[in-house]
Structure 1
Amino acid sequence: MKLKADRATLLKALAHIQSVAEKRNTIPILANVLVSAKAGTLSLTATDMEIAVVEEIASGVTRNGATTAPAAVLYEIVRKLPDGAEIELDHPGGDAPLALRAGRYATSLNVLPVEDFPSMTAGVLPHQFRLAAGVLRGLIDRTRFAISTEETRYYLNGIYLHVAEGETGPMLRAAATDGHRLARVQTEVPEGAVGMPGVIVPRKTIAELRKLLDEEAGDVELSLSDTRIQFTVGSVTLTSKLIDGTFPDYERVIPRDNDKILRVGKKDFSDAVARVAAISQERSRPVKLSIEHNLLTLSAASPDQGTAKEELDEGRVAYHSTPLEIGFQARYLNDITDQIEKDVEFAFSDSAAPTLVRDADSPSALYVLMPMRV
């Protein structure tokens, strides 16, 4: 294998690839990137056996071939080369090292056999559809904060992507929950998605995919089966195993009869929560909401630091129901309000029941938050 590639192009591809390569080295080949050159295209592949990322870039290939090299080391070398450098990669085959040259710089990297590199891209993915990158970004950003990190409840360690019946017909939904809060966002079902199985996309896959979506303005191709999902984002293909488990029937926890409605400006509310919560360093300390006609009082107390209180009154708050006191973890409140553009709408039942939270201007998303005792 012999080729020349532009440093900026190669660096961008290696940045996508190297974060997937296994760094713990339990299986040495997983720390390597598969480098394959053929007919003017350089293909780079990394996998940790759960996720595989493949990126293809144009390059001047003078000899076809393939090898594997340490992903992190190759990335660091290319990153530290000067802007505008032309990089030559040369591998004569077999166990010989991979030679890298750029200007007066030269290095050689030990390789491992291509035959040992595992493949995750084989097999049929029968369900295929396209989704605008911006729509997919929205589905992820407005749900990922609620993904559980509790490994024993592994079936909650991802986003549940599925088609469900909405008020206006079938909708493509993303849902995540950790037992304390639920996020559910929906969009119109793309052509080809009807009939897809409900799948749980793992947290790490979501993180890697989200990085790729920052650089894409067009459509993303999704292909999936019961056990794997594949995203094609521009020149990058990300393939992932799915979580083998059953996502809970989250519809059962969405309250239907909460009739005490509070409407408040997102910025006013989130800023007040942050100021009041600053009295305590404990992440789980509650903020109490005391609500009466067009008046919201937020308060928090710390045994060591003292107390804090802030009022939001008429003009910034709309509430016309019976008075209510309810408490929530400050971080959970802010995680939800961070997803909302302008006005937050809370629908309460009582101080012990789940609260429904919506973006007053966007019916596509809803959130459920469990209260805390205050």
Structure 2
Amino acid sequence: MKISIERAALLKAVAQAQSVVERRNTIPILANVLIEAEGDTVSFRATDLDVEVVDRAPATVERAGATTVSAVMLHEIVRKLPDGALVQLTDDQRTGRFTVAAGRSTFSLTTLPREDFPVMASSEYSCNFSAPAKALRRLFDKAKFAISTEETRYYLNGVYMHVADGDNGRVLRCVATDGHRLARIDAPLPDGAEGMPGVIVPRKTVGELKKLLEDDDMQIAVSVSETKLRFATPNISLTSKVIDGTFPDYTRVIPTGNTKRLEVDAAEFARAVDRVATVSSERSRAVKLSLEEDKLVLSVNAPDSGAAEEELVVAYADEPLEIGFNAKYLLEIANQVDLENAVFLFNSSGDPTLMREGSDTSAVYVVMPMRV
């Protein structure tokens, strides 16, 4: 194999591939990226056996071929090459060495046989549709903060993507929860997605997906089966196993009878929570919200370090209420708000609280209170 490729195109492709590779590998071949050159394209394939990414880049291919080299090492080399460099990649089958050359720099890397590289079996996808990158990014970005990190409840270690009934008909919905907070985000249902099986997209896949969804104008081809799903653009495809488990009935957690309504400037609220939480050394310290007519007092009392209090002017017209929340959870939810105002709906100090963005019900958050 012998190819020439622009450094910028090579770096983008290798960066996408190497991020899938696990740093600690007991199987040496999984630390490598499979490079395949043919026609006027070179592809870079990496996998950890659960997630596989393939990134294609245009190149001048003098001699077609394929080999595998260390993904992290190749990425480090390309990252340190000068901007605008033309990079030559050469694989010598006789010596088993892979050469990276640019300008006066030459690097020689060891290779492993391409035959040993595991390629994820292509399954039959029961549902295929395309969706705007912007819509998919919003679904996953707004839900991922609520993914559980508790390994014993593995079925909560991802985002549940499924088709559901929304306020105005069928929607594509993403839900994540860790038992303390919940995010439910809706997007218009794309053509062809009606029969999609509900799948739990693993946390790592959600993280890798972000790189695919950077271009707002891009349409993403989505393929889903009971065990796998794939997201693809013309140059990149990301294939992932889904979490084998049943996502709980989240609808029972979302309160419907909360009538006490607080409307507050979201950014101002987030900054105030952040400020009063400063006096506490514990990340899980409760912030107390004391509500009266058009007034909200945020307070933290940390016996070991001090106390803090801040008053905000808000829109609130119900009976006085005192309720406590984990400061970190409040901040994360408040930071999801794109519109100017956040609307909180309370029932009592012991019941789950609902939060949404203004009058928009396509993004709904639930947070459990704490005793204060």
Same fold (TM over 0.5): yes
* Aligned counterparts of 1:117 and 1:199: Cα–Cα separation in 2: 27
5 Å matches for 1:351-366? Answer: 351-366=349-364
Q: How far apart are residue 99 of structure 1 and its match?
A: 2.0
CA RMSD for the aligned pairs?
1.3
* Aligned counterparts of 1:241 and 1:370: Cα–Cα separation in 2: 31
Letter matched to residue 155 of structure 2: Y
Q: How far apart are residue 321 of structure 1 and its match?
A: 1.2
Counterpart in the other structure of 2:220: 220
Q: TM-score, normalised by structure 1?
A: 0.96
Q: How far apart are residue 57 of structure 1 and its match?
A: 0.8
CA contact (8 A) 1:147 1:176 kept: yes
How many pairs were matched up? 371
Counterpart in the other structure of 1:159: 159
Corresponding position: 1:368 with 2:356: no
Counterpart in the other structure of 1:333: 330
* Aligned counterparts of 1:273 and 1:103: Cα–Cα separation in 2: 53
Letter matched to residue 193 of structure 2: A
Counterpart in the other structure of 2:303: 303
The SS at the match of 1:194 is coil
Q: How far apart are residue 209 of structure 1 and its match?
A: 0.7
Counterpart in the other structure of 1:90: 90
Structure 2 unpaired stretches of 5+: none
Counterpart in the other structure of 2:317: 320
Q: How far apart are residue 199 of structure 1 and its match?
A: 0.3
Q: How far apart are residue 234 of structure 1 and its match?
A: 4.3
Q: How far apart are residue 95 of structure 1 and its match?
A: 6.0
Counterpart in the other structure of 1:102: 102
5 Å matches for 1:1-374? Answer: 1-93=1-93, 96-215=96-215, 217-313=217-313, 317-340=314-337, 341-374=339-372
* Aligned counterparts of 1:136 and 1:121: Cα–Cα separation in 2: 25
Letter matched to residue 270 of structure 2: S
Q: How far apart are residue 344 of structure 1 and its match?
A: 1.0
The SS at the match of 2:246 is coil
Cα deviations by residue, 1:162-196 (Å, 9 ceiling, x for unpaired): 00112221111000000000000001110111011
The SS at the match of 2:92 is coil
Cα deviations by residue, 1:14-65 (Å, 9 ceiling, x for unpaired): 1111111232121000000001011111011000111111011111111111
Q: How far apart are residue 366 of structure 1 and its match?
A: 0.4
Cα deviations by residue, 1:211-265 (Å, 9 ceiling, x for unpaired): 3322453111111100111111341111111000000000001111111111111
Structure 1 unpaired stretches of 5+: none
Q: TM-score, normalised by structure 2?
A: 0.97
CA contact (8 A) 1:95 1:111 kept: no
Cα deviations by residue, 1:91-110 (Å, 9 ceiling, x for unpaired): 23366211222222222211
* Aligned counterparts of 1:196 and 1:350: Cα–Cα separation in 2: 38
Cα deviations by residue, 1:329-355 (Å, 9 ceiling, x for unpaired): 111011011011211111111000111
User: Is the alpha carbon distance of 1:339 and 1:31 closer, same or farther for their aligned partners in structure 2, counting shifts above 3 Å?
Assistant: same
Q: How far apart are residue 112 of structure 1 and its match?
A: 0.6
Letter matched to residue 306 of structure 1: G
CA contact (8 A) 2:290 2:298 kept: yes
CA contact (8 A) 1:94 1:113 kept: no
* Aligned counterparts of 1:371 and 1:119: Cα–Cα separation in 2: 46
User: Is the alpha carbon distance of 1:128 and 1:211 closer, same or farther for their aligned partners in structure 2, counting shifts above 3 Å?
Assistant: same
CA contact (8 A) 1:95 1:112 kept: no
